[in-house]
Amino acid sequence: MTTIDELKVKIMTTTAPILTDNDLACAQAEIDRTLEQIHDAKSFDDAQLNLLRLGELQELLATAWFKHKVELSETQKRLVRSFDRSDDPDLRLHVYKEIQDGRFLK
**Among candidate residues 67, 96, 69, the one with its CA nearest the CA of residue 83:** 96
- Nearest Cα to Cα of residue 103 among 30, 52, 53, 38: 38
pLDDT per residue over 43-94, tens digit each? Answer: 999 999 999 999 999 999 999 999 888 999 999 999 999 999 999 999 999 9
Contacts of 82 (CB under 8 A, 6+ apart): 95, 104, 105
pTM of the model: 0.89
User: pLDDT for 26-57, tens place per residue?
Assistant: 999 999 999 999 999 999 999 999 999 999 99
What confidence tier does 13 reach under pLDDT thresholds 50, 70, 90?
A: confident
